[in-house]
């Protein structure tokens, strides 16, 4: 290959082998996320320049234990490696193996080795292996496996420079296969090689074994393979299980020969910690304590940064308003665009802190324990242990969480998980929660040690969780199937999180939140400003004369301007629409302004804050620089003459948003994953009904 041609280097490995951490270390911020060709599974790729100035694309393939796939993610790995015409088919494969659990990790390596693609073995987590007193004969291991081995520690970058250097060297593909294909299958393999123009015996062997699963084969090719298999008696040869056992037998011999355990009496610290973190009592207490700590920190640590952002945006909006000439353009920019985006930017600190903690839990190895622990709680409610991963992921975003259900083999378990995952409070709900909590919940101590606002936030997340599992239990009784599901999860070793990866996660998620939410909110803010600033009825057209007649004594004062703006807003196009739905939401304590926000936030939950910011900015005096929280706190209930946003109303809104679907993107991904509109429509109706009834009960109880 010429130096000008870009190398494609695939990172392949078992889950929890440190593969993605190694990917982040190699590529830094030079990454992009997309989808694999023809499917919606996320693909992460990045670019590096090797020591010989060769440019290379690094492709982080999904984690898998074997080349025989059980899930959609694992099938991607099989397609990429077997299809030589695949856009991501690699020139070089770096197999990332956990050095502390080498026997299990080497199964995948031996399968890839036999495919005939040049490869390296990155012996990762070498620091963990050293702590377990494992001593490696790397030279002997390299000879026996027939591959160049680079010991790495992706936590501190050890071995990365050696790995980059090795990628520039000539990698020799061993002529002798690791696994000898049974003689009875040789004729089938040779016939398939001739038919498809395949060079590798093992890839042709995989074509014979998995032709029905290979998407890149057309119907004619699949039919021809089946014909060859029938003619050559392939169906009578040893099975996948026998191949796996044969490989493991060789792997065990090689590992026993080249890896020695020293000081076996030394207790494994991981097992000691696991006694508490996976304990049937202590484990739940620890998990709940960690969640409480996270939500306390979301409020306590973000306050200063949020105030700074609010003040900065307020000052910027004031400067823009004073600099531009008065008129519609000025109003659009200050009351529409800046006010709407302020509802997004101010929550960056909280989003970053939340994802920072999630990354810390994943990097440290605790998240796997939390998933394992919650499996005990899930099963009685009809959820698979594997359902816990999407549910926990749902705390970040329901969309990737629903896509993560592809790892669940059981149709029933997967459908139930998809149906209930949106109940988990995602990061888009966080801006709504934090605004309303700061508005109606006092900033004081609860039980002397807990911040009351953080306690309420924790309760909202738990409320969503209990709604999810109770809904799953109900679906379990409705959906009938004979399928059985099994839960198998590896618990990785504990390790100190790599702060660079945590920082990258915080940056990436915050950036995604701002860009994705910002695009939606910007568009809606502009549309909403137009709807809220113009009207076609007589009340809007004659607003000034009507308000003058009612408040003649206030003409020329700031209070008159506030009443005029409020009257115009109420009789604008947006106000008229809000009035239409007001009778439906009035039992929940909501007015027409909240009704507008409920409708617009169907695009994305966090749009609620931007909508309220835009509405109240339009309804305020031109020189009012108050934040959205201050504007809401000053709202007066015309019926009582007291504050409109009472604890009862605030709690009702929080409960509504805890249960309501309120997200077009989630409905779209449910449609895509269930292959129809039946389940997303049922999901929308069910969650809206639960949200309405729960919000109604909350308002009536606390009012």
User: In DSSP terms, which residues pair with 55 in a beta bridge?
Assistant: 49
**Which pLDDT score is estimated for 617?**
63
Give mean pLDDT, residues 568-579.
Answer: 81
261-319 pLDDT tens trace:
755 544 467 778 888 888 888 888 998 888 778 767 776 787 788 788 878 887 888 88
Residues 703 and 701: their CA atoms lie apart, in Å, by 6
The per-residue b/e assignment along 236-247, b for 16 or more CB within 10 angstroms, e otherwise, is ebeeeeebbebb
**Position of tokens 């440290």?**
364
Closest of 530, 555, 550, 528 to residue 539, by C-alpha: 550
CA distance 28 to 33: 13
- Are 33 and 44 spatial neighbours (Cβ–Cβ below 8 Å)? yes
As beta bridge partners, residue 158 has: 153
pLDDT, position 24: 85
**Greater model confidence, 562 or 55:** 55
Confidence at 407, pLDDT banded by 50, 70, 90: low
Instruction: Using alpha carbons, list the distances in angstroms from residue 689 to 381, 659, 684, 686, 694.
Output: 21, 9, 8, 5, 8
Average pLDDT, the chain: 80
Asked whether the predicted pLDDT for residue 332 surpasses 70, the reply is: yes
What are the two backbone dihedrals, phi and then psi, of residue 627, each rounded to the nearest 5 degrees? -75, 165
Instruction: Give the model's pLDDT for residue 38.
Output: 46
661: Cα within 13 Å, side-chain hemisphere: 24
512: number of Cβ within 10 Å: 15
118 — alpha (psi -120 to 50), left (phi > 0) or beta? beta
How confident is the model at residue 270, as a pLDDT?
Answer: 72
The answer to whether 437 and 701 have CB atoms below 8 angstroms apart is no
Identify the CATH assignment for 7-166 out of 3.40.50.2300, 3.40.50.300, 3.90.1300.10, 3.10.180.10: 3.40.50.300
pLDDT at 410 over 90: no
Q: What is the spatial distance between Cα 416 and Cα 245, in angstroms, rounded to a whole number? A: 35
Where is pLDDT greater, at 401 or 140?
A: 140
Query: How high is the pLDDT of residue 279?
Result: 86
pLDDT at residue 396 greater than cutoff 60 = yes
**Of 148 and 495, more confident:** 148
In the predicted model, is pLDDT for residue 692 greater than 90? yes
* Interval 345-357: pLDDT, tens: 776 787 788 778 8
| The pLDDT of residue 682 | 93
Q: How many whole angstroms separate alpha carbon 42 and alpha carbon 19?
A: 15
Asked if residue 89 has pLDDT above 80, the reply is yes
pLDDT category of residue 521 using cuts at 50, 70 and 90: low
Residue with tokens 């600033």: 533
Share above pLDDT 70 across residues of the chain, in percent, rounded to a whole number: 84
Lowest mean pLDDT among 472-481, 613-622, 629-638: 613-622
Percent of the chain at pLDDT exceeding 90: 16
- Band the pLDDT of 463: cuts 50, 70, 90: very high
Beta-bridge partner residues of 223: none
> pLDDT per residue over 22-50, tens digit each?
888 888 766 655 544 444 456 678 888 88
Residue pLDDT, tens place only, 189-220:
889 888 888 888 888 888 888 887 888 888 88
CA distance 23 to 45: 9
**Alpha carbons 439 and 437: distance in angstroms, whole number:** 5
pLDDT of residue 529: 74
- pLDDT surpassing 70 at residue 489: no
Cα separation, 150 vs 153, whole angstroms = 10
The residue written with tokens 């306590």 in the block is 300
- Residue 604 has what pLDDT? 63
Tell me 514's DSSP state: H
pLDDT for 487 equals: 55
| Radius of gyration (C-alpha) of the chain in whole angstroms | 30
Which pLDDT score is estimated for 603?
62
Structure tokens belonging to residue 673: 């994953």
Give the helix/strand (H/E) hosting 600.
helix 592-600
Q: What is the pLDDT of residue 241?
A: 76
Q: How far is CA 59 from the centre of its chain?
A: 19
What would the pLDDT profile of 593-618 be if each residue is shown by its tens digit? 888 888 777 766 766 776 777 666 65
In the chain, residues under CATH classification 3.40.50.300 are 7-166
pLDDT of residue 414: 83
E strand spans, 436-520: 445-446, 450-451
Q: Are 594 and 579 in contact (CB under 8 A)?
A: no
Residue 267: its pLDDT value, please?
42
**pLDDT tens-digit profile of 221-266?**
888 888 888 888 776 665 677 888 889 999 999 998 998 875 554 4
263, burial (CB in 10 Å: exposed 0-12, middle 13-18, buried 19+): exposed
Which residue in 250, 150, 169, 246 sits closest to 7, CA to CA?
Answer: 169
Alpha helices in 146-216, H assignment, sequence order? 160-166, 183-196, 201-210
Could you tell me the pLDDT band of residue 400, with boundaries at 50, 70 and 90? low
Average the pLDDT over 420-435 and give the result: 86
The DSSP bridge pattern shows strands 148-151 and 119-124 to be parallel
Contact between 540 and 571 under an 8 Å Cβ cutoff? The reply is: yes
């Amino acid at each position: 290959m010429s130096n000008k041609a870009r190398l494609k280097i695939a990172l392949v490995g078992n889950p929890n082998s440190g593969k993605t951490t190694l990917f982040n270390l190699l590529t830094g911020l030079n990454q992009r996320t997309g989808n694999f060709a023809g499917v919606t599974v996320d693909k992460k790729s990045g670019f590096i320049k090797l020591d010989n100035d060769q440019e290379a694309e690094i492709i982080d393939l999904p984690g898998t234990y074997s080349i025989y796939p059980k899930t959609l993610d694992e099938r991607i790995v099989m397609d990429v490696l077997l299809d030589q015409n695949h856009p991501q088919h690699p020139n070089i494969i770096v197999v990332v193996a956990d050095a502390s659990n080498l026997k299990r990790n080497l199964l995948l390596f031996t399968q890839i080795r036999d495919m005939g693609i040049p490869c390296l073995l990155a012996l990762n987590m070498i620091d963990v292996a050293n702590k377990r007193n494992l001593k490696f004969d790397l030279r002997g291991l390299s000879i026996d496996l027939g591959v160049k081995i680079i010991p790495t520690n992706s936590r501190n970058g050890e071995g990365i420079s050696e790995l980059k250097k090795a990628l520039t060297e000539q990698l020799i593909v061993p002529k002798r296969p690791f696994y000898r294909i049974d003689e009875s299958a040789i004729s089938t393999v040779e016939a398939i090689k001739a038919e498809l123009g395949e060079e590798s015996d093992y890839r042709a062997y995989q074509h014979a074994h998995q032709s029905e699963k290979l998407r890149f084969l057309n119907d004619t090719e699949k039919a021809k393979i089946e014909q060859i298999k029938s003619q050559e008696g392939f169906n009578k040869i040893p099975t996948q299980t026998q191949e796996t056992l044969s490989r493991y037998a060789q792997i065990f011999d090689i590992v026993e020969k080249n890896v020695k355990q020293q000081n076996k009496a030394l207790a494994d610290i991981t097992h000691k910690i696991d006694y508490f973190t996976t304990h049937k009592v202590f484990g739940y207490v620890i998990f709940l304590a960690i969640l409480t700590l996270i939500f306390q920190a979301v409020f306590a640590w973000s306050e200063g940064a949020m105030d700074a952002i609010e003040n900065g945006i307020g000052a910027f909006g004031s400067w823009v308003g004073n600099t531009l000439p008065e008129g519609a353009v000025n109003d659009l920019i200050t009351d529409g665009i800046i006010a709407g985006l302020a509802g997004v930017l101010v929550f960056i600190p909280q989003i970053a802190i939340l994802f920072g903690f999630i990354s810390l839990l994943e990097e440290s190895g605790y998240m796997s324990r939390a998933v394992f622990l919650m499996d005990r709680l899930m099963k009685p409610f009809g959820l698979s242990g594997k359902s816990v991963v999407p549910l926990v992921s749902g705390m970040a975003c329901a969309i990737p969480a629903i896509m993560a259900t592809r790892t669940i083999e059981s149709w029933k378990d997967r459908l139930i998980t998809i149906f209930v995952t949106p109940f988990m409070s995602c990061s888009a709900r966080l801006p709504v929660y934090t605004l309303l909590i700061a508005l109606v919940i006092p900033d004081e101590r609860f039980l002397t040690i807990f911040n009351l606002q953080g306690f309420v936030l924790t309760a909202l997340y738990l409320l969503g969780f209990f709604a999810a599992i109770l809904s799953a239990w109900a679906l379990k009784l409705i959906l009938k199937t004979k399928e059985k599901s099994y839960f198998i999860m590896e618990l990785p070793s504990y390790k100190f999180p790599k702060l660079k990866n945590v920082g990258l996660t915080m940056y990436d998620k915050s950036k995604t939140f701002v860009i994705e939410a910002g695009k939606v909110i910007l568009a809606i803010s502009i549309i909403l400003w137009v709807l809220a600033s113009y009207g076609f009825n007589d009340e809007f057209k004659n607003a000034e004369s009507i308000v003058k007649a009612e408040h003649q004594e206030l003409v020329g004062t700031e209070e008159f301007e506030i009443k005029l703006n409020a009257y115009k807003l109420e009789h604008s196009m947006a106000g008229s629409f809000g009035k239409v739905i007001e009778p439906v939401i009035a039992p929940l304590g909501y007015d027409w302004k909240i009704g507008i926000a409920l409708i617009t936030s169907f695009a994305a939950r966090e749009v609620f804050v931007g909508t309220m910011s835009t509405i109240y900015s339009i309804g305020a005096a031109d020189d009012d620089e108050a934040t959205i929280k201050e504007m809401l706190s000053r709202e007066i209930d015309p019926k009582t003459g007291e504050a409109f946003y009472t604890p009862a109303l605030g709690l009702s809104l929080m409960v509504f948003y805890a249960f309501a679907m309120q997200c077009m993107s989630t409905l779209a991904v449910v449609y895509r994953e269930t292959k129809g509109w039946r389940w997303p429509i049922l999901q929308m109706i069910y969650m809206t009904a639960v949200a309405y009834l729960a919000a109604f009960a909350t308002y009536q109880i606390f009012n």
